[in-house]
């Protein structure tokens, strides 16, 4: 007993600030439901699987643990009541999606475990607890009562998301025309002479017109006549007929606010057209209900693309990722990224995916908590864009380099931009990139006739075509590459030869080819009314891709370089401060706002906003703005740490120089800077008083010949709704990862992808 109790002085009770990891092993995905359960250290409150127990004890000397084993039993459905149904586009709220919906009842068993001389001693709790000192019982009871670290993180991450929350429209005092029109209580039909639709109809609250709504991704819905009417009239508000109910609720859409809205004066606005809201009955599905239907029909959509009645489950060493509430974007990205061999031994998540131990699926709670910490979007449960998440992940990899090995380098390539101004002289600029963004030229559609015939049939037959497979516009990838490489005109280019602003032509090439190339098809674009739409197109993506024709070779014979020009030589850009303030209040990054004002010459809010909308997907959209033609200062010359953050880090024991280095590496984010500093102690201890100018970046390059390895597909009309899945080529078979469900894909929808992963076909070690 003396040997068992000699380390009792190290036992602690968790205080409110301590994190208790009692849901999952910190090194693996073993949990209380695993055969051996989970072991929580009574000193550090970290959880371990049995595989790591003795190793942890030998390294730390902490040898007291609480073992939790959990057994789940299915809950039988109640036959005397209706089955619970999702009726709200929401997560974690009443009638919405509930990841923690009680499908099982749980039974837990506990043991106190003491490890001595590599032997494990067990004491069933609470039966044998009297054999151990009172302090053990107190610690165990405190851990059982404490909220788990994952649950705390969920609360911090806003564990509920309500997709039905709507802003109040700015058009509450809407001007309505007195044209004598009155709307009957039923019998509505689209007023467009070429349309016979009698459902999905929208009443414009300004002039009383009744027109059909937008069409959905699967070809159902309307023919866009209500949208066209807004473009012609600018009448902003429309209400969906059939959704108006006597309790004052209805679907109201504001075209210029580009969102579903609340109209506090809806009853008054409807009364103007002779509609008594207290007499109305809801007869059609709301947009929320339609979105729910589309989301829940996803399996049918996959089956349609596969052209098979049933997908074959894939159970051999393929683990899926459980959806933690609108995290399908994360699941798809991580399945694709961790399929790369270089990542296999680098992370707990990769090990869990590839170990073959968790075929029922694993929940990436720890990873999501860490990767989203401090980020205004990825720390929430809201749906996100997979492309933006990939860039965020790469930024995190760049900030957390281990042993001089940066995993982001496997995606990094160099862009070459060539400018030629009216003097005839040229300028070459280079920058690193991680995704290749390809525009989609809608003027290059190869089946234009078939698409036009399909649209004509839809307009003439209306809802009778809703059950047909939609005819998508088809575009060759080569057309996208040609658009990417085409020469473009750059206004207000500062020519150091002319010492004045002029117009220059710009061409873009690839100066290096990374081991793994991520291609982003820019399917989300802005319409003329600034509404965000997704292009419903099919891009022919080859399995073998040759990009050598896009290789940049730098200065050519006969070309003359422009003299170097810095910001002190060129006239300083002038930004209208009122316009700059208005743009930033809209939520645009300040550097992007500077770009917009510079290229629109401060002409006004509308031109600047339009420029922002047209360039919102540019890779350098929010980077520090340097006028074209000007040589940017080196990063080390321009970085200024936030003084308050420096002082806080210095209070933790770091020097001023070390604090500045940590903030520089983490873009002035204090919490990340502290984490970075503590994980790079050796580097900070050896650094000099001056921050060194970073060396020129190196690129892993080779031939521009690639083979398709995987892709992510998005189903839905917006990045903020819908669903992501991932396809991976493994052993000559395509595997479909739909969250925790994994299937063999007989006919992968390669032409409908959003993000593609290509693997270079030559030696990866060339630099």
Query: pLDDT (tens digit, 9 = 90+) per residue, 481-505?
Result: 999 999 999 988 989 899 888 999 9
Task: Return the pLDDT at 265.
Answer: 93
Confidence of residue 738 (pLDDT cuts 50, 70, 90): confident
593 labelled binding-site residue: no
Q: Check pLDDT > 90 for residue 205.
A: yes
676/666 Cα distance (integer angstroms): 8
pLDDT score at 162: 46
Range 722-729 average pLDDT = 86
* Amino acid 284: pLDDT: 66
What gap in Å lies between CA 199 and CA 191, rounded to an integer?
12
d(CA 249, CA 184): 19
pLDDT in tens, 649-685: 887 778 888 888 888 777 677 767 777 777 677 667 6
Q: What is the pLDDT of residue 707?
A: 96
Distance CA 308, CA 304 (A): 7
Instruction: Fill in the DSSP letter of residue 761.
Output: S
Round to whole Å and give the CA distance between 86 and 97: 6
Q: Which of 122-136, 373-387, 595-609 is predicted with the least confidence, judged by mean pLDDT?
A: 373-387
Q: Mean per-residue pLDDT for 748-757?
A: 92
Domain boundaries, the chain: 1-78+89-159, 577-615
* HEC readout, 511-557: CCCCCEEEEEECCEEECCCCCEEECCEEEECCCEEECHHHECCCCCC
Q: How far from 546 is each of 340, 697, 753, CA to CA, in Å?
A: 21, 25, 19
Identify the pLDDT of residue 141.
93
pLDDT at 53 > cutoff 60: yes
Q: In CATH terms, are 1-78+89-159 and 577-615 the same topology?
A: no
Q: Just list the catalytic residues.
A: 328, 723
Mean pLDDT of 302-313: 52
Asked if residues 305 and 316 have their Cβ atoms less than 8 Å apart, the reply is: no
pLDDT higher at 191 or 613 = 191
Q: Which of 293-307, 333-347, 588-602, 719-733 has the highest mean pLDDT?
A: 588-602
Q: Quick one: pLDDT at residue 505?
A: 95
128 pLDDT more than 60: yes
Average pLDDT over residues 197-226: 84
Structure tokens at 650: 């210095």
Q: Is the peptide bond before 126 cis (omega within 30 degrees of 0)?
A: yes
pLDDT of residue 343: 62
Among 343, 330, 316, 550, smallest CA distance to 433 is for: 550
Residue 529 has pLDDT above 80, yes or no: no
Is the C-alpha dihedral spanning 723, 729, 730, 734 positive or negative?
Answer: positive
At residue 230, the pLDDT reads 93
Q: Is 480 annotated as a binding residue?
A: no
pLDDT at 42: 94
Mean pLDDT of 295-314: 51
Residue 535 pLDDT > 90: no
Give the mean pLDDT of 393-397. 84
618 versus 21: the higher-pLDDT residue is: 21
Total-model pTM:
0.70
Residue 547 vs residue 431, higher pLDDT: 547
Band of residue 89 on the pLDDT scale cut at 50, 70, 90: very low
Residue with tokens 């036959």: 79
| Res 78: pLDDT | 54
How, if at all, do strands 252-254 and 210-212 pair?
A: unpaired
- Any idea which residue has 């929350």 for tokens? 165
Above 90 in pLDDT, residue 479? yes
Q: Tell me the pLDDT band of 755, cut-offs 50, 70 and 90.
A: very high
Phi, psi at residue 227, to the nearest 5°? -65, -45
First-to-last C-alpha distance (Å) of the chain: 61
358, 525, 532, 716 from 354: Cα distances, Å = 9, 36, 38, 29
- Least confident stretch, 32-36, 71-75, 95-99, 214-218: 95-99
484 exposed, middle or buried (CB, 10 Å; 0-12, 13-18, 19+)? middle
**pLDDT band, very low/low/confident/very high, at 693 (cuts 50, 70, 90):** very low
Quote the mean pLDDT of the chain: 80
The helix/strand count (H/E) of the chain reads as 22, 30
Q: Are strands 167-168 and 259-262 parallel, antiparallel or unpaired?
A: parallel
DSSP-derived secondary structure letter, 635 = H
Cβ–Cβ < 8 Å for 131, 4: no
Predicted local distance difference test score (pLDDT) of residue 310: 54
Say yes or no to pLDDT of 250 above 80. Answer: yes
Contact 119, 52 (CB under 8 A): no
Burial (0-12, 13-18, 19+ Cβ within 10 Å), 607: middle
Q: Which CATH architecture has domain 577-615?
A: Orthogonal Bundle (1.10)
Least reliable range by pLDDT among 78-92, 223-237, 661-675: 78-92
Question: What is the average pLDDT across 538-545?
Answer: 94
More confident residue, 248 or 380: 248
| Range 370-408 burial, b when 16+ CB lie within 10 A, else e | ebbbebeebbbbbbbbbbebbbbbbebbbbbbeeeeebb
Find the radius of gyration of the CA atoms of the chain.
30
Q: Which CATH number fits domain 1-78+89-159: 2.160.10.10, 3.40.640.10, 3.20.20.80, 3.30.40.10?
A: 3.30.40.10
**Among 74-83, 556-565, 596-605, whose mean pLDDT is lowest?**
74-83
Task: Tell me the percentage of the chain whose pLDDT exceeds 70.
Answer: 78
**Per-residue pLDDT at 417:** 94
Q: Residue 576 — pLDDT band, cuts 50, 70, 90? A: very high
pLDDT at 41 over 70: yes
Q: What is the pLDDT of residue 252?
A: 92
Q: Pick the residue with more confidence: 164 or 110?
A: 110
pLDDT at 304 over 60: no
Please state the length of the chain: 767
Which pair of structure tokens corresponds to residue 113? 């475990």
Each residue of 630-659: pLDDT tens digit?
876 544 445 678 887 888 888 777 888 888
The β-bridge relationship of strands 435-438 and 426-433 is unpaired
On the question of pLDDT at 134 being above 80, the answer is yes
Residue 131: pLDDT band with limits 50, 70, 90: confident
Question: Is the pLDDT confidence value at 616 over 90?
Answer: no
630 vs 489: CA distance, rounded Å = 17
Residue 290 predicted with pLDDT over 60: no
What interhelical angle do 298-306 and 287-296 show, nearest 10? 50
Cβ–Cβ under 8 Å, residues 471 and 607: no
Largest Cα–Cα distance in the chain?
96
pLDDT, tens digit (0-9, with 9 covering 90-100), for 425-476: 999 999 899 999 999 999 999 999 998 888 787 666 654 444 456 788 999 9
Query: In the sheet that 47-48 helps form, which strands lie side by side, from edge to edge?
Result: 47-48, 38-41, 64-74, 104-116, 119-125
Of the candidates 518, 522, 358, 553, the one whose C-alpha atom is nearest the C-alpha of residue 439 is: 522
Which 8-state DSSP code applies to residue 168?
A: E
Are 57 and 42 in contact, with CB atoms under 8 Å apart?
A: no
Dihedral angle computed from the Cα positions of residues 30, 34, 35 and 39, in that order, rounded to the nearest 10 degrees: 60
Can you give the pLDDT at residue 690? Answer: 44
Q: Is 190 annotated as a binding residue?
A: yes
- Indicate the DSSP class of residue 405: B
Query: Is 512 a residue whose pLDDT tops 90?
Result: yes
Q: Check residue 428 and give its pLDDT.
A: 94
* Mean pLDDT on 144-152: 85
pLDDT (0 to 100) of residue 342: 65
Cα gap 602→595, rounded to integer Å: 10
Q: How far apart are CA 398 and CA 335, in angstroms?
A: 20
CA distances from 480 to 500, 531, 617 (A): 34, 23, 15
pLDDT for residue 542 is more than 90:
yes
Please give the share of the chain, as a percent, with pLDDT higher than 90.
Answer: 34
Tokens encoding 588: 């645009």
């Amino acid at each position: 007993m003396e040997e068992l109790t000699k380390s009792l002085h190290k036992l602690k009770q968790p205080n409110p600030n301590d994190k208790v990891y009692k849901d999952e092993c910190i090194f693996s995905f073993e949990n209380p439901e695993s055969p051996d359960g989970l072991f929580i250290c009574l000193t550090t409150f970290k959880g371990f699987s049995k595989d790591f127990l003795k190793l942890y004890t030998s390294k730390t000397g902490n040898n007291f643990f609480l073992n939790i084993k959990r057994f789940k039993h299915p809950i039988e459905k109640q036959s005397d009541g209706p089955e619970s149904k999702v009726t709200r586009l929401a997560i974690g709220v009443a009638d919405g999606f509930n990841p923690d919906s009680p499908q099982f009842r749980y039974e837990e068993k506990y043991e106190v475990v003491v490890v001595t001389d590599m032997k494990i001693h067990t004491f069933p709790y609470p039966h044998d607890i009297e054999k151990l000192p009172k302090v053990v019982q107190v610690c165990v009871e405190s851990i059982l009562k404490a909220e788990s670290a994952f649950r705390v993180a969920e609360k911090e991450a806003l564990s509920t998301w309500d997709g039905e929350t709507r802003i109040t429209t700015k058009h509450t005092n809407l001007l309505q025309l007195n044209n004598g029109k009155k709307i009957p209580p039923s019998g509505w039909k689209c007023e467009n002479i070429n349309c016979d639709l009698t459902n999905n109809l929208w009443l414009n609250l300004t002039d009383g017109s009744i027109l059909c709504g937008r069409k959905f991704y699967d070809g159902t819905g309307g023919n866009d006549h209500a949208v066209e009417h807004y473009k012609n009239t600018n009448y902003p508000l429309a209400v969906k007929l059939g959704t108006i109910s006597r309790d004052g609720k209805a679907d109201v859409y504001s075209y210029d606010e580009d969102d579903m809205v609340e109209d506090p004066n809806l009853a008054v606005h409807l009364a103007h057209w002779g509609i008594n809201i207290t007499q109305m009955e809801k007869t059609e599905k709301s947009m929320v209900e339609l979105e729910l239907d589309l989301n829940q029909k996803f399996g049918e959509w996959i089956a349609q693309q596969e052209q098979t009645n049933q997908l074959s489950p894939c159970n051999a060493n393929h683990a899926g990722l459980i959806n933690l509430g609108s995290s399908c974007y994360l699941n798809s990205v991580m399945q694709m990224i961790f399929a790369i061999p270089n990542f296999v031994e680098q992370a707990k998540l990769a090990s869990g995916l590839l170990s073959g131990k968790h075929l029922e699926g694993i929940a990436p709670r720890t990873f999501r908590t860490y990767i989203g910490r401090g980020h205004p979007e990825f720390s929430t449960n809201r749906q996100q864009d997979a492309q933006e998440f990939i860039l965020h992940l790469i930024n995190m990899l760049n900030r957390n380099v281990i042993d001089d090995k940066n995993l982001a380098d496997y995606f990094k390539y160099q862009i070459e931009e060539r400018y030629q101004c009216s003097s005839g002289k040229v300028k070459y600029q280079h920058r690193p990139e991680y995704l290749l963004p390809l525009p989609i030229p809608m003027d290059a559609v190869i089946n234009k006739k078939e698409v036009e015939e399909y649209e004509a049939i839809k307009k003439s037959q209306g809802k009778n075509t809703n059950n047909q497979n939609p005819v998508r516009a088809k575009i060759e990838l080569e057309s996208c590459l040609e658009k990417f490489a085409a020469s473009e005109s750059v206004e207000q280019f500062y020519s150091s030869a002319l010492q004045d602003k002029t117009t220059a032509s710009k061409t873009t090439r690839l100066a290096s080819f990374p081991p793994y190339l991520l291609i982003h098809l820019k399917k989300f674009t802005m319409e003329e009314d600034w509404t965000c739409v997704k292009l419903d197109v099919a891009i022919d993506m080859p399995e073998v891709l040759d990009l050598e024709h896009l290789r940049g070779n730098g200065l050519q014979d006969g070309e003359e370089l422009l003299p170097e020009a810095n910001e002190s030589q060129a006239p300083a850009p002038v930004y209208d401060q009122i316009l700059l303030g208005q743009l930033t209040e809209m939520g645009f990054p300040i550097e992007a706002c500077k770009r917009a004002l510079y290229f629109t010459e401060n002409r006004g809010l509308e031109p600047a906003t339009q420029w922002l909308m047209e360039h919102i997907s540019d890779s350098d959209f929010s980077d520090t703005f340097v006028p074209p033609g000007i040589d940017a200062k080196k990063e080390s010359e321009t970085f200024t740490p936030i003084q308050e953050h420096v002082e806080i880090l210095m209070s933790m024991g770091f020097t001023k120089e070390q604090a500045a280095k940590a903030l520089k590496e983490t873009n002035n984010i204090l919490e990340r800077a502290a984490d970075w500093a503590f994980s790079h102690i050796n580097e900070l201890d050896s650094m000099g008083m001056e921050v060194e100018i970073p060396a020129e970046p190196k690129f892993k390059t080779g031939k521009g010949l690639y083979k398709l390895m995987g892709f992510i597909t998005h189903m839905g009309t917006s990045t903020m709704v819908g669903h992501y899945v991932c396809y991976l080529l493994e052993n000559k078979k395509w595997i479909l990862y739909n969250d925790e469900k994994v299937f063999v894909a007989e006919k992968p929808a390669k032409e409908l992808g959003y993000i593609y992963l290509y693997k270079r076909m030559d030696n990866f070690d060339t630099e």
